[in-house]
Amino acid sequence: MANELIEIMDGVGNDEYDLHLEVHLPSSVKDHQARAEVLREEAQRKQAEAAAEHRAAVQELLALGVSQREAGEVLGMSFQRVSQLAKSS
């Protein structure tokens, strides 16, 4: 719309000028964005911690002689996921 207005008001083509837009967000929106970023980073850390705990649980069960299939059943994971976690330790 800004391009059209400039062309109509000044009688110029769009190749005769450069239009630069600058967006200023309200501080409350910036605050929400900053908080969302903090929460996203925290969630990533928590996800990594959860994965480490899953690996530890799998390793403990396997060390006790529980099969990967049985470990998956008691931990509520697929056999394939248990296998992945066992290999990633």
Q: What is the 3-state secondary structure (H, E, C) of 33-60?
A: HHHHHHHHHHHHHHHHHHHHHHHHHHHH
- With pLDDT > 90 as the criterion, what percentage of the chain qualifies? 74
Structure tokens at 15: 């190749």
pLDDT band at residue 89 using 50, 70 and 90 as cut-offs: low
Write the DSSP symbol of residue 19: -
Residue 4 has pLDDT above 70, yes or no: yes
pLDDT of the residue at 17: 73
Residue 29 has pLDDT above 70, yes or no: yes
Across the chain, mean pLDDT equals 91
pLDDT tens-digit map of 49-87: 999 999 999 999 999 999 999 999 999 999 999 999 999
Over residues 11-20, mean pLDDT: 78
